[in-house]
Amino acid sequence: MVMEQTTDEMNYPTHGMNIDVGRAALTLTKALDYVGIDDKSHGRRVGLICHRLAHHLGWEKSRRHFILIAGMLHDCGVSSTTVHKKLADEMEWNGAEEHCIRGDQFLQSFPPFSLFATAIRYHHTRWQDLPETLDKETREYANLIFFADRLDVTYASFTLNHPYHEVLLNREKIFRELAPYVGQLFSGKINRAAAHAIQKDSFWLELRDEYLDDAIMEALSSEDYEISLSFDEIESLGELISQVVDAKSPYTHYHSLRVADLSYTLSGLAGLPPYQRRLLRLSGLLHDVGKLRTPDEILEKPGALNEHEIAQMRSHPLDSKTVLKALFPNTLIAKWASEHHEKLDGSGYPYGWKGEQIDLPTRILSIADIFQALCQKRPYRHRLLIDEVLEIMDEMVAEGKIDDSVYTLLKVNKEELYTIAIRT
The residues assigned a catalytic role are: 291
Please list, in sequence order, all residues whose beta carbon lies within 8 angstroms of the beta carbon of residue 306, skipping any fewer than 6 positions away. Answer: none
Q: Which residues pair with 228 in a beta bridge?
A: 18
Q: For the CA atoms of 267, 365, 322, 343, what is the dihedral angle to 10 degrees? A: 130
- β partners of residue 3: 19
Type of residue found at 221: S
Contact 107, 25 (CB under 8 A): no
User: Is residue 262 helix, strand or coil?
Assistant: helix
Q: Which of 424, 417, 416, 78 is nearest to 253 (CA)?
A: 424
Alpha-carbon span 40 to 339, nearest angstrom? 24
Cα radius of gyration (the chain): 23
**Residues 186-219, buried b or exposed e (16+ Cβ, 10 A)?**
bbeebbebbeebbeeeebbbbbeeeebeebbeeb
| CA distances in angstroms from 383 to 17, 253, 389, 418, listed in the order given | 38, 13, 9, 11
Q: What letter represents residue 420's amino acid?
A: I
Q: Distance (Å, rounded) from C-alpha 295 to C-alpha 298? A: 6
Local structure of 227: helix, strand or coil: strand
User: Is the bond leading into 350 cis (omega within 30 degrees of zero)?
Assistant: yes
Angle at 391 between CA 390 and CA 394, to 5 degrees: 80
